[in-house]
Amino acid sequence: MIALLLLSAAAATPAPQPQPQPQPPGQRSEAPGRPPDKKNDAKKAPPLSMVASWTVTLPSPAAGSPGFDTTQAYVPTRSSELVALSLKDGTVAWTVPLTDVVGPPATGDGLVFVAHTRQVEALDARTAASRWRATVEGPISAPLLWQNGWLLAATEQGDAIMFRAAAGEVLWKQALGSAVRVQPAAADDRVYVLLEDGRVAALALGTGKKIWEATVPGRGTMIYPLDDRIFVGSADKFFYCLAADTGKRKWRWRTGGTIVGTAAVDDDLVYFVSLDGVLRALDRSNGHQAWKVPLPHRPTGGPFLSGRLLLVPGMSAEVPAFHAIDGSAAGSAKLPGEPAVPPAWLQGPDGKVGRMMVVAGEGQAQLLVPGLPTLPGKPIPGLPKFSLPPEIKGDVPEWVDPGAPTEF
């Protein structure tokens, strides 16, 4: 009888349940028992594969972020020089002495535009010869913006000054009343400026006339305009969406840290990072969160959208990638060392994939290009595993050199 009672009690005791395991950085946790999303998995791109097209050592470490045109990169160095590197093979095209450089160079019209403390200078992109210089009142406080023959400079005292880029002629000047720290942005016939006091101003590109002005509670940290809306990141830990025609707020999303880097967009979503160490994807139309994922490091820029992958550089010698469809991990790119300045993204000619230029702390400059993807496969019994020879692994297709954005 006692034995029967013991057997009955044992049968009634529930079996121990498996405990959820912690997820590694860059992976989302799923609900227990939730089946894999095979529909999303089928839409995912192959994991990130990038290889070094070239690596060179600069005359001295970088002093700031580089600028780019279709054929060259322009790197300011700590030895007070501007070094032009060929994007094709990394060779030095020219070196010119420059002092008091503010922000990355801007490019356009066959010229390289450099902001000094109180001057703007235009250099010939091919020869480095100085084409024109213009003096401004007050220190320049934000990166220059070139847009279709126009060149915008912003000063510490809150002046926006538009030049004719080819000749250095001042076309208009608008007093905004507060310093500009973030590179302005342009879309259609307007230029958008973030002011240190929290205002966002929309100006007519051709005249400088103020079209509208809006205010966000914190200091603006990034701006990304589209035709119908403008995305603004702020130090108040919110990500804002404003109407492009009126400046009225459409929606906002709270994060756990200051918004940094830039934004990336596709047809449906907008992606951004913040100093709480999270990459987020929101619906462009209504601001609803599609997904979020923790980052393995503190972000310093990005995210960069390359096809269906998102790359997020940070204070690390490795750049992780994530699938844009759901934020799941998608490999990483190894860098020559921890970047001295945030890596720069050069969008590809098809608008889908691109290249990344990195300048490490010791002065190593490297251009990373898409490599051969790692495709899933199953070994065939009885046959040895096949791998590409080293000389083929390093071979990459010839690229048409694209333009690139300029940012700190």
Taking only the tens place, the pLDDT of each residue in 291-337 is: 999 999 999 999 999 989 999 999 899 999 999 999 999 999 999 88
Distance CA 116, CA 122 (A): 11
Given a contact cutoff of 8 angstroms between Cβ atoms, the answer to whether 140 and 184 are in contact is no
* Cβ within 8 Å of residue 100, ≥6 positions away: 116, 117
Taking only the tens place, the pLDDT of each residue in 209-219 is: 999 999 999 99
Nearest CA among 284, 300, 315, 393 for reference residue 345:
300
- Of residues 408 and 102, the one with the higher pLDDT is 102
Given a contact cutoff of 8 angstroms between Cβ atoms, the answer to whether 145 and 107 are in contact is no
pLDDT of residue 42: 60
Here the tokens at position 258 are 């200051």
Distance CA 387, CA 12 (A): 55
Sheet containing 190-194: order of strands: 185-187, 190-194, 199-204, 210-215
% of the chain surpassing 70 pLDDT? 80
Report the range out of 22-26, 89-93, 362-366, 387-391 with the highest average pLDDT.
89-93
Count Cα atoms within 13 angstroms, Cβ side, for 144: 33
- The DSSP element (H or E) to which 61 belongs, if any, is none
Distance CA 403, CA 142 (A): 20
pLDDT of residue 214: 97
Residues in the chain: 408
Distance CA 56, CA 73 (A): 12
Mean pLDDT of 157-176: 96
Count Cα atoms within 13 angstroms, Cβ side, for 264: 26
pLDDT of residue 125: 97
Taking only the tens place, the pLDDT of each residue in 169-190 is: 999 999 999 999 999 999 999 9
